[in-house]
Structure 1
């Protein structure tokens, strides 16, 4: 889903920066490719989820992958879609870094099935990978105004129906999806070995108004969340290592014949640490979430952003991605005054994402971050090597 994540975020940036520019969409067909004559079936672009605009494939022409990438980028440029610097940077990233990984490409021509007339001002590129059985279609099409409030995750997945969200959920749902897509792009830039190395949850917490920031109320709420229940899944992925003859966890090798359950975190590892008793010494796997001073945490966020810029070499693009992942969510959760309680798997120095050299630790154990504001909470897991 790396390509759709890039495409979805690019489309959202274009819609904000160039409202009259094109839309760009990605549709994925997993499994074996179903052919209809010489055309792959089941990948019609989602021009209009309400069904007011339809397309049907008329023909397909095999082309080199780079030609398909150039056609996509050229369509964006020709229609003014990448007039913003962040759109241009992400479009270049998509075309120059992601698309050439495909091993086969086709350019598909479309007709309007109602009139039978060919559609000349759109680009539809089908890409296939040798490493996994699926086809991705990237379409650059005119932007339509959606009727109603669709679930953004349904748009991302290409649902055929018009799935709706409540007014109160639409904004947070869109923000969560954008943050996950941005995390996917940033993880790719950092060289993390795994998809969606940033796992992000973001929702209203329901703690009674006026109760926050009472720590007892926050702990009572935390005990009811699915986030707490996900601790083991977020931390330990046990896989059999045939070469070593044992089970490999993210911490150490368990010899063959031993119970891999002995390697699970201990009791209390999913609890929130006491704010009155800050931990001393470095954090290790299995420790509880530590309470962090918000000023120390914000210093760490600033250092993390700087390390991302240096390590990726992406500069402004890294800043834009971090805005989606951290800056705007923190502003929403904590407000302009940054009113928030922070727990994290942080060392005594306050370092959360970075290693001892100050670089992003893309091969380290997963790290958790919980931020609880007056009305909403943010839960993030950064998993470097393993992904999620």
Structure 2
């Protein structure tokens, strides 16, 4: 599913399998106004997505699809619905009493539920079924705010105004579209930013930080298969996403061709990790290539600084820190790029020097500062000189 707002039919929309299947299954006619569902093949569209932030994104994309092409359907009572499942289930010791929770930071996907639990959900359908309702024009404005490319600046203001503890009460039977956008989808947008934009402190995204954490914890001084290491990372760092993405991140951290990593690939590439000509996409499968920590990684991330790190906790286990403390600013050294909600980043720097100008002070990284005192005796900070690049937006 893609964000179809502001796209035309000729932009590949007709080739999108998910959208075409939804049109075919429901019997939707392009450009038709609907004040009831009599002409459709089904009277309801029920969204059954995982109870995590990515599930919220899927719900938002479907609502955005309807609002873009068939906005009248959003106003039909009880047409758009969602099916929710428990996020956490607590069982009393020596008892069959089970308490389900629907508003918790942890989550489980639909695949986690077994057949017995699935039957229980459908027996009590009213408890798990929620109806989306159109209240007023504020609903349409909220949907446009979240997905329109014309609302980039407004979207930034929207995200900045998010308050801690925001969530949608699962006890509510009806969900106004603007409440879904402002109390649920906004949480995905914040997580999307955290995943996509690297930290200024260590230059890493959360997935990369989890990999480095597990590389230090194992530790991988001897070569290990990338596919095998990805399983270790998934197990010991509470990684909740696909392993194909994790393997791709490990490979990216080990690539050393020109244009990939300037000062250091943090992991060693043993095998075919891709070439400059193909931008690294021609790497071998994770089953056939190996990696390990490079010697310089332990110098960049000094073990003596571990006492300063704030390690996170998830699913009852200690995982990676909020950020590491490299002895030099890795976000400037290796550069980084990412596209989040409202913001994007692309920083590609010279592997030799940071050239200053009249607008930007010169960055001086003296060899004497490349030690643990870097964090206590900084000589100064400035922005590197680089050409302005166009900002991409999701």
Under a length normalisation based on structure 1, what TM-score does the superposition of the two structures give? 0.29
**Higher helix fraction (1 or 2):** 2
Which protein shows a greater Rg?
2
Query: Higher relative contact order at CA 8 Å, sep ≥6: structure 1 or structure 2?
Result: 1
Judging by fraction of residues, say which structure has more strand: 1
